[in-house]
Chains A and B, each alone.
Chain A
């Protein structure tokens, strides 16, 4: 399937990746080629086949609902680009 530049710009907005106008054109071509290539899967009859999400056992293990970790706020905030008074900080989102 051939993508157009508007679609690629929309995908980039969904993915939160800023693209310049100059990047849009070559990316549109590359993504179109890759999508056309993966579309060979349409040749395969998958009627009635259950999708496989993982090679691991189908059911996930349960554990006790108990606190097993925590109390390490400073260690976690230690990697934050911006932190203040025990919190991550972000640009203002509420007026």
Chain B
């Protein structure tokens, strides 16, 4: 049985407790291993790694005793199962990676282990990170630890980093890694009432992360507080020669950005984010966010991002084209599933038909089509041109303002099974999050309030490229003002 008081500490508090020896890394890892087991009904983990967690915790304890503590020593985290972890099953939520044990470690997880973090296990996700609900995994859907009061139907955790978000929200991990291609860190963070940061493109290495759409994939942290994700980012970020798009930008102490002072800061409020189908409660929360920032001394500025409505279709063309190219490697030859056929071609076709789920097949087919002879210019190049205009919108806006405040998602968590027969309705979840992926700028989601039916809603701060400091600073102000203290109906250690 896990210890609920220990699980209730956030990362910064646990770090302080370890430093003053209030508990050991082994004690913390033991209670989190129990929490991971108790949280099994959420299906947030594909592969728990309890023995590895204890071994890593013991190594952390030795350093802590010697007074040589590393920045994340003894902190138990979940790893989205899109990051390759050496000799630990890595699935991307897909049948086609059946049995894949990478012979190498992703740069981001390697940095986390070198910083002393403890691996609790590999977190569930949408297959190949393609989805907004974490229901397309070969390993079954993730359940959100939140339920609507008086309604027992399980809800989606958001996606694609739904297992990471559910684990952190249910106190079955202190923090987690995620990846965000069109909102896959921020939207699940919003749905689960926690914090998720998509850093600037190039800030965290993609090396060893199973590729979905290479020009849009962003590894980043998920945590319970803004400070916690700032601490995680510090360990995950940094230039990596093994990723040619990794930026040679120095890593600063992101915690120092949390000064609590945003006086004089200009915050853009884009009128194009007032979409027709957005519920009134989200509009009201957004207005409260504007007021909170105004009270803290910032200056709200009405701005326009005219290309916003084209971001989603642009995103889908580019993401699916890149996905069809990236997923060509799954051929039954070098790793994963193989279905024998009569000859090489048939082996490829049968392997990929059996190995990819419905959504992945759909996306690979569209991606193949938009890249095929005769359509490349009309779809793919057209989308890349609109992408340039979207990035130009952001560049012009950041001449006027220091950051942008919007809602994270147009709804709260929905019921598992809803929207599954309408791909476009599912894609609309990402309407507020994809623009930052196309432009490569940093954006964070923080829990800011509850919907009328008692579910968490997030607000999003978007900033200039490589200015995570401002994003974190403003998010810290919102976090304090919102003082979101609500907890989900399922918490590890609370008897479920």
A-to-B contact residues, CB < 8 Å: 3, 7-8, 11-12, 14-19, 27, 30-31, 33-35, 37-44, 46, 49-57, 60-61, 63, 72, 75-76, 78-82, 88, 90-93
User: In the assembled complex, which residues on chain A have CB atoms less than 8 Å from the CB atom of B202?
Assistant: 55-57
Question: Whose C-beta in chain B lies nearest to the C-beta of A82?
Answer: B338
Known contacts A37-B424, A46-B382, A75-B103; A57/B247 CB under 8 A: yes
Pick from B247, B344, B348, B389: contact of A46, CB below 8 A: B389
Contact call A55/B439, Cβ cutoff below 8 A: yes
Question: Whose C-beta in chain B lies nearest to the C-beta of A61?
Answer: B244
Q: Mark B473-484, 1 if CB is under 8 A from A, else 0.
A: 000000000000
Query: Which residues of B309-324 are within 8 A (CB) of A?
Result: 309-310, 313-314, 316-317, 324
What's the minimum C-beta distance from B237 to chain A, rounded to whole angstroms?
15
Known contacts A16-B352, A54-B215, A90-B347; A79/B314 CB under 8 A: no
Contact call B347/A41, Cβ cutoff below 8 A: no
What's the minimum C-beta distance from A82 to chain B, rounded to whole angstroms?
7
| Bound: A14/B327 CA distance, A | 13
Stretch in contact with the other chain, from B113-121, B275-283, B328-336, B449-457: B328-336
Stretch in contact with the other chain, from B5-13, B47-55, B58-66, B363-371: B363-371
Q: Mark B301-315, 1 if CB is under 8 A from A, else 0.
A: 000000101100110
| Bound: A77/B495 CA distance, A | 45
| Bound: A16/B479 CA distance, A | 48
| Bound: A83/B258 CA distance, A | 53
Q: Mark B405-443, 1 if CB is under 8 A from A, else 0.
A: 000000000000000000110000000000000111100
B-to-A contact residues, CB < 8 Å: 99-103, 201-202, 215, 241, 244-245, 247-248, 307, 309-310, 313-314, 316-317, 324, 328, 331-338, 340-350, 352-353, 356, 361-362, 364-366, 368-369, 372, 379, 381-389, 391, 423-424, 438-441, 465
Contact call B338/A33, Cβ cutoff below 8 A: no
User: In the assembled complex, which residues on chain B have CB atoms less than 8 Å from the CB atom of A41?
Assistant: 310, 313-314, 317, 382-383, 386
Question: Whose C-beta in chain A lies nearest to the C-beta of B340?
Answer: A91
Contact call B364/A15, Cβ cutoff below 8 A: yes
What's the minimum C-beta distance from A32 to chain B, rounded to whole angstroms?
10
Query: Dominant SS at the A interface?
Result: loop
Contact call B385/A46, Cβ cutoff below 8 A: yes
Contact call A35/B366, Cβ cutoff below 8 A: yes
Query: Dominant SS at the B interface?
Result: helix
What's the minimum C-beta distance from A80 to chain B, rounded to whole angstroms?
6
Contact call B353/A90, Cβ cutoff below 8 A: no
Pick from A27, A52, A91: contact of B341, CB below 8 A: A91
User: In the assembled complex, which residues on chain A have CB atoms less than 8 Å from the CB atom of B344?
Assistant: 90-91, 93
What's the minimum C-beta distance from B84 to chain A, rounded to whole angstroms?
11
User: In the assembled complex, which residues on chain B have CB atoms less than 8 Å from the CB atom of A50?
Assistant: 385, 388
What's the minimum C-beta distance from A37 to chain B, rounded to whole angstroms?
6
Contact call B334/A88, Cβ cutoff below 8 A: yes
Q: List 20 A-B contacts (CB under 8 A).
A: A17-B349, A17-B352, A17-B361, A17-B364, A31-B366, A34-B362, A38-B383, A40-B310, A41-B314, A44-B307, A44-B385, A46-B382, A46-B385, A49-B389, A53-B215, A54-B215, A54-B245, A60-B244, A76-B103, A91-B340
Contact call A80/B333, Cβ cutoff below 8 A: yes
Question: Whose C-beta in chain B lies nearest to the C-beta of A38?
Answer: B313
Pick from B248, B335, B386: contact of A80, CB below 8 A: B335
What's the minimum C-beta distance from A8 to chain B, rounded to whole angstroms?
7
User: In the assembled complex, which residues on chain A have CB atoms less than 8 Å from the CB atom of B328?
Assistant: 16
What's the minimum C-beta distance from B80 to chain A, rounded to whole angstroms?
20
User: In the assembled complex, which residues on chain B have CB atoms less than 8 Å from the CB atom of A56?
Assistant: 201-202, 215, 245, 247, 440
Known contacts A27-B362, A56-B440, A79-B103; A11/B368 CB under 8 A: yes
Contact call B386/A38, Cβ cutoff below 8 A: no
User: In the assembled complex, which residues on chain B have CB atoms less than 8 Å from the CB atom of A15?
Assistant: 324, 352, 364-365, 368
Known contacts A53-B215, A55-B439; A18/B424 CB under 8 A: no
Question: Whose C-beta in chain B lies nearest to the C-beta of A50?
Answer: B388
User: In the assembled complex, which residues on chain A have CB atoms less than 8 Å from the CB atom of B387?
Assistant: 51-52
User: In the assembled complex, which residues on chain B have CB atoms less than 8 Å from the CB atom of A34?
Assistant: 316, 362, 366, 423-424
| Bound: A28/B381 CA distance, A | 23
User: In the assembled complex, which residues on chain B have CB atoms less than 8 Å from the CB atom of A53?
Assistant: 215, 384
User: In the assembled complex, which residues on chain B have CB atoms less than 8 Å from the CB atom of A33?
Assistant: 423-424
Contact call A51/B384, Cβ cutoff below 8 A: yes
Question: Whose C-beta in chain B lies nearest to the C-beta of A48?
Answer: B385
What's the minimum C-beta distance from A21 to chain B, rounded to whole angstroms?
13
Contact call A55/B372, Cβ cutoff below 8 A: no
Pick from A11, A37, A40: contact of B369, CB below 8 A: A11
What's the minimum C-beta distance from B142 to chain A, rounded to whole angstroms?
24
Question: Whose C-beta in chain A lies nearest to the C-beta of B377?
Answer: A51
Pick from A11, A16, A39, A55: contact of B349, CB below 8 A: A16
| Bound: A19/B352 CA distance, A | 10
Known contacts A34-B316, A38-B379, A55-B202; A63/B241 CB under 8 A: yes
| Bound: A46/B382 CA distance, A | 8
